[in-house]
């Protein structure tokens, strides 16, 4: 049974006050808070178990290596990957997408080849492909979302042409909370021999993920959005795609042998993991994913769906508030604007009431342009938020209305 009060008790920061008010943390879309079990694991790793991983023959190195490498199994289970060797550790989704751009796309795309993107994408799923446009003559094809923020999978499929080599779309918009039917897109792309990358930064946080069922080739996640430490992440890379990639970072760990005249590489996934990794960050991410799996991602999704429905109803009653994106089945992420008030000013007033939201373009400028706004406020809910906190947000917004009205 999902018990939000029990979950809240696992997060020590949620009991604090801000500006004399109970903290209402609605910025988990940017970065989630950490449960005590993750904080304890990080502390223990540094205070009792720290050493560099791989090749060390002493006790602490073996212990750290075991704990670090065991996280591959945890991530593989969390994403239902076919094998743990399909999991490559990264510092987050941004590094994961750049890894694909440099190691796979740069090797396999020619001038004139196409990459299909949606207007919903985060800059992390735009800029690496723009590098290829600038440097290799790759063509970017854009698919717009509908007025309600939804993305028609058929529109993405229709954009795939004979020169399309990659489709890169998000599973959930970090601005509107739109859920994308990535399974339909990926299966259609597979039939056409087109590779697929699904940005899982938000999607993996709010419900169960099965990369084999989705049928994607690449699926990156970010640890700090999944209640783990910053600087942690991973990317699922289908084994067949790994064979088409060459490493783009060189150094320790990713080699087999090095001579003056030649270098041979380690087998994946180490082939794509150069240098000393984020050891403790990765261990902490593994603990966070275990914590989520104990709760059950199906339970998280069901609870957040009720929370999203409640928030949608309350915000829609504010007829002076402009909510961006109302797609059916959207996640608990709400971007909004208010006539006569800049989003930064709204955010500042909300903060005085202890309500933490984010203001700006949310690293999604093409979507902002498509929506016809320069910036929004964004309230992004997580599994530890409550309907009472929705009410606090509404009360704070009504205060904003009075202040700027």
- Span 250-291, pLDDT tens digits: 999 999 999 999 999 999 999 999 999 999 999 999 999 999
Which of 294, 326, 355 is the last residue in one of the domains? 294
- Helix, strand, coil percentages for the chain (3-state, nearest 5): 45, 20, 40
d(CA 366, CA 303): 31
With beta carbons less than 8 A apart as the criterion, state whether 97 and 128 touch.
yes
In order of 113, 173, 309, 319, 353, the CA distances from 405 in angstroms are 51, 30, 27, 13, 18
The Cα 14–Cα 77 span in angstroms is: 29
Read off the tokens for 363.
């690293």
Which candidate, 337, 331, 262, 279, places its Cα nearest to that of 302? 331
DSSP secondary-structure letter at 104?
I
The domain that holds 189 is classified in CATH as 3.40.640.10
Task: Identify the CATH number of the domain in which residue 327 sits.
Answer: 3.90.1150.10
Contact 378, 357 (CB under 8 A): yes
Q: Are 110 and 219 in a shared domain?
A: yes
- Residues 216 and 272 grouped into a single domain: yes
Residues 51 and 26 in one domain: no
Domain termination site, one of 294, 321, 353? 294
* pLDDT score recorded for residue 255: 95
Mean pLDDT, all residues of the chain: 97
Domain with 249, as residue range(s), is 39-294
Is pLDDT above 90 for 403? Answer: no
Q: Where are the beta strands (DSSP E) in 339-384?
A: 355-356, 358-360, 376-380
Q: Which two tokens stand for residue 388?
A: 């009472």
Give the tokens for residue 249: 């970072």
Q: Are 88 and 237 in contact (CB under 8 A)?
A: yes
Domain match, 282 and 312 both:
no
Global confidence as pTM: 0.98
Quick one: angle between helices 127-136 and 93-100, nearest 10? 20
pLDDT recorded at residue 404: 86
- The total of structural domains in the chain comes to 2
Query: What tokens appear for 328 in the block?
Result: 């059916």
Domain check: are 262 and 306 in the same one?
A: no
Looking at residue 231, its pLDDT comes to: 98
Listed residue (112, 393, 100, 319) closest to 220, CA to CA: 100
Residue 60, strand partner residues: none
Degrees (nearest 5) of the Cα angle 380, 384, 389? 65
Pairing of strands 255-258, 263-265: antiparallel
216 is catalytic: no
Q: Report the C-alpha gap between 2 and 12 in whole angstroms.
A: 19
Residues 357 and 375 sit within 8 Å (Cβ to Cβ) = no
Residues written for the chain: 405
Q: Which of 145, 186, 216, 363 is catalytic?
A: 363
User: Mind listing the pLDDT tens digit for each residue in 284-325?
Assistant: 999 999 999 999 999 999 999 999 999 999 999 999 999 999
DSSP string across 309-338: HHHHHHHHT-TTEEEE---TT--SEEEEEE
Q: Are residues 226 and 335 in the same domain?
A: no
218, 197 in Cβ contact below 8 A?
yes
Q: Is residue 197 located within the same domain as residue 50?
A: yes
Torsions phi, psi for 338 (to 5 deg): -140, 130
Return d(Cα 38, Cα 50) in angstroms, integer. Answer: 16
pLDDT tens-digit readout, 346-387: 999 999 999 999 999 999 999 999 999 999 999 999 999 999
Q: How far apart are CA 225 and CA 306, in angstroms?
A: 21
Contact 209, 292 (CB under 8 A): no
| Residue 151, Cβ density class (10 Å: 0-12 exposed, 13-18 middle, ≥19 buried) | buried
90-131 confidence digits (pLDDT tens): 999 999 999 999 999 999 999 999 999 999 999 999 999 999
Same domain flag for 114 and 183: yes
CA-based torsion, 263, 269, 273, 275: positive or negative: negative
- Domain identity same for 313 and 391: yes
């Amino acid at each position: 049974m999902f018990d939000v009060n029990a979950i809240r008790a696992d997060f020590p920061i949620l009991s604090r006050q801000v500006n004399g008010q109970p903290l209402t943390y609605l910025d988990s879309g940017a970065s989630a808070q950490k449960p005590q079990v993750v904080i304890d694991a990080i502390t223990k790793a540094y205070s009792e178990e720290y050493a560099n991983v791989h090749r060390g023959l002493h006790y602490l190195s073996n212990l750290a290596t075991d704990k670090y490498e065991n996280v591959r199994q945890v991530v593989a289970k969390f994403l239902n990957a076919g094998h743990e060797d399909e999991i490559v550790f990264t510092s987050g989704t941004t590094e994961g997408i750049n890894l694909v751009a440099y190691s796979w796309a740069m090797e396999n795309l020619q001038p004139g080849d196409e990459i299909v993107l949606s207007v919903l994408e985060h800059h992390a799923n735009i800029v690496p492909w723009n590098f290829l446009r600038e440097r290799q003559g790759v063509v970017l094809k854009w698919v717009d979302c509908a007025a309600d923020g939804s993305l028609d999978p058929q529109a993405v499929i229709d954009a795939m042409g004979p020169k399309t080599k990659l489709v890169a779309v998000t599973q959930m918009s970090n601005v509107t909370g739109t859920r994308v039917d990535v399974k339909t897109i990926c299966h259609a792309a597979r039939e056409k021999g087109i590779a697929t990358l699904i940005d899982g930064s938000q999607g993996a946080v709010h419900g169960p993920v099965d990369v084999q069922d989705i049928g994607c080739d690449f699926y990156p996640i970010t640890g700090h959005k999944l209640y783990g430490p910053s600087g942690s992440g991973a990317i699922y890379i289908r084994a067949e795609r790994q064979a088409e990639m060459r490493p783009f970072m060189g150094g320790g760990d990713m080699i087999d042998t090095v001579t003056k005249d030649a270098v041979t590489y380690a087998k994946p996934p180490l082939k794509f993991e150069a240098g000393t990794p984020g050891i403790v960050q990765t261990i902490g991410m593994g603990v966070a994913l275990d914590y989520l799996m104990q709760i059950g991602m199906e339970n998280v999704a069901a609870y957040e769906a009720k929370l999203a429905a409640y928030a949608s109803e309350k915000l829609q009653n504010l007829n002076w508030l402009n909510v961006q994106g109302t797609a059916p089945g959207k996640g608990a992420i709400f971007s909004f604007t208010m006539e006569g008030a800049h989003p930064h000013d709204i955010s500042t007033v909300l903060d005085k009431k202890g309500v933490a939201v984010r203001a700006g373009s949310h690293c999604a400028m093409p979507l902002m342009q498509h929506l016809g706004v320069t910036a929004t406020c964004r309230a992004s809910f997580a599994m530890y938020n409550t309907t009472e906190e929705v009410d606090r947000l509404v009360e704070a917004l009504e205060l904003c209305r009075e202040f700027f009205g």
